[in-house]
Amino acid sequence: MADSLFDITGKLALVTGSSRGLGNALATGLAERGARVILHGRNADTLAVVARAMHEATGAEIEIACFDITDAQAVREGVAALVEAHGTPDILVNNAGLQRRAPFAEFDPADWDALIATNLSGVFYVANALAAKMSERGSGKIVNIGSVQSMLARETIAPYAASKGGVAMLTRGMAADLARYGLQINCISPGYFQTDMNTALWQDTEFDAWIRKRTPAQRWGQLEELVGTLVYLCSDASNFVSGQNIFVDGGMTSVV
């Protein structure tokens, strides 16, 4: 009974932005625990190579889906195609995201548009395209990926913080609408992890020292440390948990 509570064997999981970095680590974590994974990105050739390597490493069934999450029509078509080919996913992990940095007064409006389109609109488009199918079935796990910037601001990334704050509130709104249909929608907000997207930060000795001092755990997170929370939110163990934002941040958001 205890083992089955967290069992995701055979579950079909779509993980957006999973050809590398955080998304790839999350997808790998699900595959290692028996899920059937659909990798997503915008480059089919890259996805094919990553899918082959993940299958060889985990033995799991790995498929790919290639569409632009910032294009609502492309999302509708891409989701329809993957549902026709593989069925409606049991799990959706909305991970795809990007970062742009500049002082607020110098921030290019085009970069604002790109951040909102990817980090917030993309989450809505993909979840919106799958919600009806999940609701008809009466089950589904949607995990949106936020950030400590869903709660905390820092200089040069105000638009990113706005987009991730939006993800946290979108998660709550989705739960309000969809929990009655047997769906659980939650958010994981990572602290500072050593990913491709923030390579410049963890290689900066001054910033590295600041993170270690600012974080009670006194270190950066390792990507595999997100997997346990993800598995919990994708399993029956979380069937009465919805609309929550779980910070996996070494304690950063708990202290001043």
**DSSP character for 156?**
T
Q: What angle do CA 217, 221, 226 make, to 5 degrees?
A: 115
What values do phi and psi take at 201, rounded to 5?
-75, -50
Separation of alpha carbons 68 and 16, rounded Å: 10
Cα separations in angstroms, 105 against 69, 102, 109, 236, 246: 28, 8, 10, 46, 32
CB 75 within 8 A of CB 91: no
Separation of alpha carbons 252 and 247, rounded Å: 9
DSSP characters over 188-210:
EEE-SB--GGGHHHHT-HHHHHH
Tokens of 120: 């917030």
Q: How many CB atoms lie within 10 A of CB 45?
A: 9
What residues are annotated to the active site? 160
66 DSSP β-pair partners = 41
Q: Number of C-alpha atoms within 13 angstroms, CB side, residue 56?
A: 6
